[in-house]
Amino acid sequence: MPLHDPAHAFVPYPDTPVPHAATGPLAGLTFGVKDLFDVAGYPTGGGSPIVLAMSGIKTRTAPTVQKLLDAGAALAGKTVTDELAFSMNGDNAHFGAPVNGAVPGRISGGSSSGSASAVSNGLCDFALGTDTGGSVRAPANHCGLVGLRPTHGRVSLEGALDLAPSLDTCGWFARDIGTFARVADVLLGDDAAPLPAAPRLLRPTDVWALATPEAAEALQPATAQVEKVFGTAAPVDAALESFDAMYWHFRHIQGREAWMTDGPLIERFAPPLGPGVKERFAFSRAVTDAQVAEAQAFRTRFRAHLAALLGEDGVLVMPCMPDIAPLRSDPDAALEDYRNRAIRLLCLAGLAGFPQLSLPLARRDDAPLGLSLLGPAGSDRSLVALAEQLSAR
Amino acid sequence: MPLHDPAHAFVPYPDTPVPHAATGPLAGLTFGVKDLFDVAGYPTGGGSPIVLAMSGIKTRTAPTVQKLLDAGAALAGKTVTDELAFSMNGDNAHFGAPVNGAVPGRISGGSSSGSASAVSNGLCDFALGTDTGGSVRAPANHCGLVGLRPTHGRVSLEGALDLAPSLDTCGWFARDIGTFARVADVLLGDDAAPLPAAPRLLRPTDVWALATPEAAEALQPATAQVEKVFGTAAPVDAALESFDAMYWHFRHIQGREAWMTDGPLIERFAPPLGPGVKERFAFSRAVTDAQVAEAQAFRTRFRAHLAALLGEDGVLVMPCMPDIAPLRSDPDAALEDYRNRAIRLLCLAGLAGFPQLSLPLARRDDAPLGLSLLGPAGSDRSLVALAEQLSAR
């Protein structure tokens, strides 16, 4: 770990050499790894003191991390995660709040807080995170980074701690699309069915209405630029039920799976969970079978609905989050309100399992704001290619 | 660590074999070690997630722990400590609140919370703790255990995390005086100048006035028994200045040294400290050189005063704590008030560096209450011998 980490982005584990290839497509780049992934020679803490205590020193490196090492990237360190990855705020009650490198007075977002912090503060070139309900997309938006939630299952999470397996994905952050694309080539390879060079842009007006008017306005120039390059976006409705209903369906699936993952640990050790995390697990414990069944049936219908809407060439152009990052000094209730609004935007990709790329193309009030591209299943690399085209103009 | 530790007394580190002698004076006994002491094969967490992360796996075992292993005792596990050992409540915001085995609805006391919990719940036979300002004596009182704060420097703290080195001591807990004395033989050996068989008992009336009337009354039968065996205690005043002044002198020394120990860590990592601990370090940071100088001059005078009072044969018979343990459900302010009153009793041995033994000889309101014996420097083993004599009657 960097001995002087002014951003508190890295978990201060003792330095342990992690070999990487001398040459390869990522040679010369350094990267951070969210402390959910096993790295041989290090513990895996998952943002939880009890998990850290139980961890011991891992002897195997998660395959996705190994891929990056084999491609020549050098490990900079393991990064702080929100507790058990079950938060969107980037403030771990036990390990601290990594600093947002783009706007230090605002939250970094989470749960991949340390990864976004490390990259946005220039402490490494890119960093791995995970995204269950927004844990890559939220910090990418907040810290002014490129960040991808990939198609569910596309990037291996083997050797990483679960939160809600049917929603968990492995994503990453970079400051620029060039670096981001180099990592994409290693982690994604080519799409089996790439998007066409001129995709069919869609503007989900119902989703746009979830952003604050100020954020929607601030995103207009970037949207206009996207349309200038790829053609005018056709207005559509993306939701299948009300956003309230989608919100609850998402939370019921996430909650049930999170409790199956971490409930045994919580019941056995009664660990003191941080603010918000505690309440979220209490909610999770109380989710009923009927709620889960209804949510899963909805998810199946919604995935089919979104697949039909997008076909093989459609891309939603939409806000990543309702607005810029809240202030670090905002009261808990304001953060919780922001989170509840954010889940309504974030749950589309989550429920469908489709890829969503956040691009730091806008600002308001001196803070970054992400415009996002959401494509059909398997279009991950194509979305990155669109962003490369945009950047080249 | 015990896989099923219903008291949450042990830190759940992965089991690692720690060899011990097959025979010896402690053969057949199991013991817990407060997670401030290094044990080869384990990390040392100090009740702090950041310290745990930085620890790595230790390769050497603290000499005092090794002495116990060499005497045939078997390690049961490492026990939870209050955060950075800077609390008296036994509630770690990151690792939890070990359960008081004598009265589960009341706090275990701390900072040697897990050690007292493990012994009082019968999870091991004895356990090592440390006592800077009461961290053995408070949990011994609260959990109904025999506990000793030894003469400063008598039992080695090498290989253990510091809090305030000029006050830190290494003590231990057992449920019965027989087991306690077996450990005393190993850790203390003989006193260089033992107390006489019939010590001169002193009853510090000013200290007794610091206990609640209910506690003082509940301690009368035990005091009468001590006097029956060893003779009537002569009333004395033990304090040199007001207890308020002594309280502040103690806190200024402890605070300055605690900040010298942990300030660099706190300033570098800005770790989220738990309730109370955070405020105590903020206080510590603000202690002035003038306050420290005045406190140290007082300490020198007080040590001489107490040494003169006790001579080579005097023993103070006094309450260990102001009362039984507070309820776990008591508000923070009540716990802080209890702590502030307790420091006034506890600071006598702390400032003087003299040994104080707490004995679970009383109860009130269905909770244990300790009567304590405070002797001159170096009288540690003699105090234990007095307790053995008492127990034999």
Contacts of B95 in chain A (CB under 8 A): 49-50, 53, 271-272
Using the Cα atoms of residue B81, residue B87, residue B90 and residue B92 in order, give the sign of their dihedral.
Answer: negative
Q: Yes or no: say if B392 and B346 are a contact pair by the CB < 8 Å rule.
A: no
Q: Which two tokens stand for residue B88?
A: 């008296």
The contacts of residue A167 (CB under 8 Å, 6+ apart) are A132, A133, A152, A253, A254, A257, A350
Nearest to B95 by CA among B104, B105, B108, B106: B108
Contact B271 A11 (CB under 8 A): no
| Phi/psi at A90 (5° precision) | 75, 30
Nearest to A370 by CA among A379, A378, A361: A361
Q: Is A93 on the interface with B (CB under 8 A)?
A: yes
Point out the catalytic residue in the list A112, A115, A120, A135: A135
Contact A12 B269 (CB under 8 A): yes
Q: Is A96 on the interface with B (CB under 8 A)?
A: yes
Residue from B10, B79, B89, B95 to probe the interface with A (highest A Cβ count within 10 Å): B95
Nearest-angstrom CA–CA distance, A24 and B46? 42
Residue A159 above 50 pLDDT? yes
- Sort strands A74-79 and A30-34 into parallel, antiparallel or unpaired: parallel
- C-alpha separations of A196 from A71, A147, A199, A262, A381 in Å: 28, 22, 5, 42, 12
pLDDT bin (cut points 50, 70, 90) of residue A384 is very high
Instruction: Supply the mean pLDDT for chain B.
Output: 97
Residue A294 above 50 pLDDT? yes
Q: Is B171 on the interface with A (CB under 8 A)?
A: no
- C-alpha separations of B232 from A188, B53, B218 in Å: 84, 54, 18
Using the Cα atoms of residue B250, residue B251, residue B252 and residue B256 in order, give the sign of their dihedral.
Answer: positive
CATH 3.90.1300.10 domain range(s) in chain A: 30-187
The residue-averaged pLDDT of B139-147 equals: 98
Q: Which two tokens stand for residue A93?
A: 């009650």
Q: Which two tokens stand for residue A35?
A: 């402390």
pLDDT bin (cut points 50, 70, 90) of residue A132 is very high
- Sort strands A367-374 and A74-79 into parallel, antiparallel or unpaired: unpaired
Domain at A30-187: CATH architecture? Alpha-Beta Complex (3.90)
pLDDT one-digit tens code per residue, B21-49: 999 999 999 999 999 999 999 999 999 99
Nearest-angstrom CA–CA distance, A119 and A30? 10
Nearest to B38 by CA among B14, B56, B21, B15: B56
Point out the catalytic residue in the list B135, B358, B372, B382: B135
- Among A8, A56, A272, beta carbon nearest to B94: A272
DSSP B97: -
Determine the distance in angstroms separating the CA of B27 from the nearest CA of chain A, rounded to an integer: 29
Query: Which stretches of chain A are DSSP H helices?
Result: 49-55, 63-70, 113-120, 137-143, 177-187, 205-208, 213-218, 220-230, 243-269, 277-285, 289-310, 332-352, 380-392
Contact A94 B54 (CB under 8 A): no
Judged on CB neighbours under 10 Å (0-12, 13-18, 19+), B171 is: buried
Q: Yes or no: say if A244 and A387 are a contact pair by the CB < 8 Å rule.
A: no
pLDDT of residue B393: 77
Instruction: Supply the mean pLDDT for chain A.
Output: 97
Q: Is A272 on the interface with B (CB under 8 A)?
A: yes
Q: Yes or no: say if A162 and A124 are a contact pair by the CB < 8 Å rule.
A: no
Q: Yes or no: say if A73 and A29 are a contact pair by the CB < 8 Å rule.
A: yes
The fraction of chain B above a pLDDT of 90, given in percent, is: 97
Judged on CB neighbours under 10 Å (0-12, 13-18, 19+), B235 is: exposed
Q: Could you count the other beta carbons within 10 Å of the beta carbon of residue A13?
A: 22
Instruction: Please say if A113 is a catalytic residue.
Output: no
| Phi/psi at B120 (5° precision) | -70, -20
Contact B11 A53 (CB under 8 A): yes
Nearest-angstrom CA–CA distance, A216 and A231? 19
Is B206 in a helix, a strand, or coil?
helix
The contacts of residue A9 (CB under 8 Å, 6+ apart) are A32, A79, A80, A98, A99, A113, A114, A115, A117, A118, A121, A123
Is A138 in a helix, a strand, or coil?
helix
Q: Is the backbone peptide bond immediately before A111 cis, with ω within 30 degrees of 0?
A: yes
The fraction of chain B above a pLDDT of 70, given in percent, is: 99
Determine the distance in angstroms separating the CA of B174 from the nearest CA of chain A, rounded to an integer: 25
pLDDT bin (cut points 50, 70, 90) of residue A1 is very low
pLDDT bin (cut points 50, 70, 90) of residue B231 is very high
Q: Is A264 on the interface with B (CB under 8 A)?
A: no
Q: Could you count the other beta carbons within 10 Å of the beta carbon of residue B81?
A: 33
Residue of A nearest to B265 (CA): A12
DSSP string, A171-207: EEEESSHHHHHHHHHHHT---SSPPPSS-EEEEEHHH
Contact A49 B50 (CB under 8 A): no
Nearest to B326 by CA among B93, B6, B85, B110: B110
Nearest-angstrom CA–CA distance, A32 and A172? 10
What's the per-residue H, E or C state across B30-60? Answer: EEEEECCECCCCCCCCCCCHHHHHHHCCCCC
pLDDT one-digit tens code per residue, B144-157: 999 999 999 999 99
pLDDT one-digit tens code per residue, A53-99: 999 999 999 999 999 999 999 999 999 999 999 999 999 999 999 99
In 3-state terms chain B splits into helix, strand, coil percentages (rounded to 5) of 40, 15, 45
Point out the catalytic residue in the list A48, A111, A113, A382: A111
Contact A272 B93 (CB under 8 A): yes
Contact A50 B272 (CB under 8 A): no
Q: Is the backbone peptide bond immediately before B120 cis, with ω within 30 degrees of 0?
A: no
Instruction: Please say if A379 is a catalytic residue.
Output: no
Contact B43 A49 (CB under 8 A): no
Nearest to A107 by CA among A322, A346, A326, A320: A326
Task: Calculate the CA A234 to chain-centre distance.
Answer: 27
Nearest-angstrom CA–CA distance, B31 and B331? 33
Q: Which two tokens stand for residue B142?
A: 């609260």
Instruction: Please say if B135 is a catalytic residue.
Output: yes
Q: Amino acid letter at A105?
A: G
Q: Which A-chain residues 42-61 have CB contacts (< 8 A) with chain B?
A: 43, 45, 49-50, 52-57
Q: Which two tokens stand for residue B77?
A: 């596990």
Nearest-angstrom CA–CA distance, B384 and B313? 14
The residue-averaged pLDDT of B211-225 equals: 98
pLDDT of residue B1: 47
Contact A94 B52 (CB under 8 A): no
The residue-averaged pLDDT of B314-335 equals: 97
A14-22, Cβ contacts within 8 angstroms, sequence gap of 24 or more: A14/B54, A14/B55, A14/B56, A16/A41, A16/A42, A17/A41, A18/A61, A18/A69, A18/A75, A19/A69, A20/A68, A20/A69, A20/A70, A20/A72, A20/A73, A20/A74, A20/A75, A21/A69, A21/A70, A21/A71, A21/A72, A22/A72
Nearest-angstrom CA–CA distance, A117 and A97? 9
pLDDT of residue B4: 65
Contact A53 B13 (CB under 8 A): yes
Determine the distance in angstroms separating the CA of A272 from the nearest CA of chain B, rounded to an integer: 6
Nearest to B326 by CA among B130, B98, B88: B88
The residue-averaged pLDDT of B166-189 equals: 98
Residue B2 above 80 pLDDT? no
The residue-averaged pLDDT of B257-284 equals: 97
Q: Find the largest Cα–Cα distance for chain A.
A: 57
Contacts of B45 in chain A (CB under 8 A): 49, 53
Residue A101 above 70 pLDDT? yes
Angle value at C-alpha B320, between B316 and B326, nearest 5 degrees: 165
Is B88 in a helix, a strand, or coil?
coil
Cross-strand partners of B147: B173, B358
The residue-averaged pLDDT of B102-110 equals: 98
Nearest to A273 by CA among A44, A8, A11, A48: A48
pLDDT one-digit tens code per residue, B331-353: 999 999 999 999 999 999 999 99
The contacts of residue B122 (CB under 8 Å, 6+ apart) are B101, B175
